[in-house]
Amino acid sequence: MVKLSPSILSADFRKLEEQIRRVDKAGAEFIHIDVMDGQFVPNISFGCPILKAVKGVTDKVLDVHLMIEEPDRFIDDFIAAGADLITIHYEADKHIDRTINYIKSNGVKAGIALNPGTPVSVLKNLINIVDMVLIMSVNPGFGGQKFIPYTIDKLSELKEMAEERNKDLLIQVDGGVGIDNAAEIIEAGANVLVAGSAVFKDDKIEENIAAMKGVF
Ligand code: DX5
Ligand code: ZN
């Protein structure tokens, strides 16, 4: 079954609680929390206080995407704040095996994210120790960017690798996902779709989620 993970980066922060409740009620399975440090990516978003606040209003899977350098420094904090699934970038951690195992040893699910330019082949020895792989389909840092077409090939390649080495793998795609390309993305192998602007646009959260789910 394909899951939807709305990214609150595109939410209206003046009414975050209301927006989370609406996303929850409209049937999103995950809620995607984009953490940016202004170092790994050229933008700063938010951190644990927001995660804690979101945790207070929903029981959905809190899917935390850490776009931060040396994420191992903050794993304990994000676990304490309520993360259910923590994804770190392959490019940001010199000791990715250690960090993944540390996350899992705390009973939290772990994922690895790949920037568009990072090949799927780097996962050869890691795919069977993670719960999820996130294929970035834009260069991380901002919502509302255009989907990069070649990342479709990366999804197919990952799907093939997962069939051999980790059948339960969650294959997440993030960036520029909307109703126009969701079918193609799912066809290529993704089973968790992140969407920011496509979910929150025009404050039509319910309609947008229904339209997206109609494609699944
Ligand atoms: C980009 C973030 C994405 C972003 C997606 O760096 O990781 O999660 O919020 O936004 P859209 O769906 O608008 O591309
Ligand atoms: Zn993200």
Q: Quick: pLDDT tens for 27-71.
A: 999 999 999 999 999 999 999 999 999 999 999 999 999 999 999
d(CA 40, CA 37): 6
Residue 128 neighbours by CB under 8 Å, 6+ apart: 165, 166
Residue 115: nearest ligand to its CA? 1
Residue 9: nearest ligand to its CA? 1
Catalytic member of 37, 93, 131, 174: 174
Sign of CA dihedral 174, 27, 132, 179: negative
Summarize pLDDT for 66-112 with one digit per residue, the tens.
999 999 999 999 999 999 999 999 999 999 999 999 999 999 999 99
**DSSP letter at 145?**
P
Give the containing element (helix H, strand E) for 68. none
> What domains sit in the chain, N to C, each tagged with a CATH number?
3-215 (3.20.20.70)
Determine the straight-line distance between the first and last CA of the chain, rounded to whole angstroms. Answer: 8
Q: Stretch 7-24: mean pLDDT, rounded?
A: 98
Encoded amino acid at 172, one letter: Q
24 is catalytic: no
ipTM score here? 0.98
174 is catalytic: yes
